[in-house]
Structures are given as C-alpha cells and as structure tokens.
Amino acid sequence: MRFIKNAIFILAAFFVSSYSFAGCVFGAKDKTSYVVLDNHTLILKGGYGRDILIKSFSFFYTTSEVTVLKDSFCSYDNSVLYVNGELVDANSVEWIN
C-alpha cells in the first residue's frame, strides 16, 4: 500500500512540475500594442500586467497587422493570433519584466 501512495505522489509531482514549465499567460487581449523582436518573436505590451513574449514559426514584420484571438493561452497553443490574414500558433509564451 505504501508503494502505491508513493507512486501516486511521484506522478502528481511530475504532472505539477511539468505544467509549471509550460508557459501560460492570461490577459493578452488587454494588451494595447506589440513590438516585433525578430521574424518569429513579438512582445505584447501595454494594458494591465506584465508584457508577453510570443515565439512562433510564423513570420512577423514591423508592418504586420496583429490581432490577439485568445485572452489566455499556453505554449504550443493553436490559433492564438491573427497576423496578416493568417492564424498563428504560439510555440513558446512567457511573461517578461
């Protein structure tokens, strides 16, 4: 019985620690501007809370038209942004500041 309790504890600890490494953000729709860092990275700025760094396989340009589709999302989430008429997935997201 003790083995089962230990196994459950280890599995629970693994899932909690795995989830904490997955970058998740909220309040993205409150951001009022964005800055393109490079072709695959942008920062959502302004509004309430810290800035949000988003990395994607899609291309971002300083002339891109960016619309935030989801208020809360995590790394590897689908259809997070709408950029120049295309849906964009988030490969990596994190809070900055």
- What local confidence, expressed as pLDDT, does residue 35 receive? 96
| pLDDT tens for each residue of 61-86 | 999 999 999 999 999 999 999 999 99
Question: Where along the chain do its domains lie?
Answer: 23-96
Q: What is the largest CA-CA distance in the chain?
A: 62
- What local confidence, expressed as pLDDT, does residue 10 receive? 54
- What local confidence, expressed as pLDDT, does residue 48 receive? 87
Nearest to 70 by CA among 90, 84, 43, 95: 90
User: In a 3-state reduction of DSSP, which class is residue 50?
Assistant: coil
What mean pLDDT is predicted for residues 10-18? 46
pLDDT band at 14 (very low <50, low <70, confident <90, very high): very low
Q: Is 8 exposed, middle or buried (0-12, 13-18, 19+ CB in 10 A)?
A: exposed
